[in-house]
Structure 1
Amino acid sequence: MQSLIHIEDVEKSFGNGNKEVKVLKKINMTIPTNQLTALRGRSGSGKTTLLNLIGALDKPSGGEIYFNGNPISSYSEKQSAELRRVKIGIIFQSYGLVPLMTVEENIEFGLRIAGVPRNDWNDRIRESIAIVGLEKRAKHRPLELSGGEQQRVAIARALAPRPALILADEPTAELDSNMAFQIIRAFQSLTNNQQTTIIMTTHDPGIMEILDHVYTLEDGQIANQ
């Protein structure tokens, strides 16, 4: 099976000398295209750090990450930003919504940044809002929404451009179980039908049971590697 992400001997440390902390230690993994993959592990195990490296938001201290066969750790800030703009959708735990924009406008903003043709905006906005069940809240601004609703807007904004890769840090953490499974089913539909690859972190054992691949991080390493 073709891989979108290939990780070779990746390490990540923070601090120097006696204060150096190794967060990731010799990570090796391959993420197939059009699959839904989860990273699990306790807080501090390195899940979010690994997501940030895959998304070119940070650089590894050692090793290499390949995106579609291209090594990205030596990318300039401009190259990294362009990779994220065109190829990667990121769902942060902090939502990252624009406060003065409505749900629709936040999603439109994401489409504009990703360079999606204007003619496609209305359909993409409508489809992504329907996926997360926010049709009745489309004209509301983030401060008028609950935490779970804001999380769903962040998910819709990442889905709408249909990027090659979506990185989602605990995307269902603020959602009730019914909505969480609806989001996961939407993720699975995307990977099956839209040529999208999704990597997410989760603590939810129910969700892990229905995913294509689950990697466990323990003390900065992949367990049972």
Structure 2
Amino acid sequence: MKRVVIIIFLFVAAFGFSQQDSTLVYKKRVLDQTEVDFLISYYAQDGDNAAVTGGIGTEELTDITPTIVISVPLNEDDVLTVDAGISSYTSASSSNLNPFDKTGASNGGEGHDDDRLASGDVTGSPWVASSGASRQDVWASGTVDYSHSSDDRNLIWNANVSFATEFDYSSIGFGGGIAKQFNDKNTELGAHVKIYLDTWNPRYPTELDSYLEVNGNLNDGFFEGVTIWDQNGNASTQWQP
């Protein structure tokens, strides 16, 4: 009889523990495994109304943008996402912003980084792409984002840092946000904040850029060998932009 009582007691105790374990709530991971996405876009345009050259001239432009997005689950609630990409473009109209370098149009240009002439190139025409510094460039960017979800997955907050760079521009960004989901996740209210710290190095038209490069010397640069006339039709050496 004692053996029967002991066995029954042990069975009841084990059943009690198993019932207690079954009440634990299963929490699904926000992201089950690492995800890697590759994206790419291509854009091309044409036209004859370029703003850079006063509404006339070629608007030819091409842009290709490959991007990679990697999302890594840190645990059940947290995800780290890295988004990086580049945008490589060639632009006929923007190249005409500064088609010559400091040695002047008459000399064809030598020894400056915005002079990329190839044999047979035509310079200074709105109808063709010249060799200015803005003729082609690569814009690069990256973002690192950390997000956390609540146990019921209805509250999500995140923080991120980003950067972007181009030949005349660079930027660092910081941000964060919070979102609350309602109505079986059919409704969401959120608030997000972004701060960007930008640095811009402006590009000027060739006549202004060349003037600055030679410290205002009208016998050098873009104006070398070119007579400047004042409003009375007289040759002048006092011109300045």
Normalised to the residue count of structure 1, the TM-score between the two structures is 0.17
Bigger relative contact order, structure 1 or 2 (CA pairs below 8 A, ≥6 apart): 1
Larger radius of gyration: 2
Bigger helix share: 1
Which is richer in strand? 2
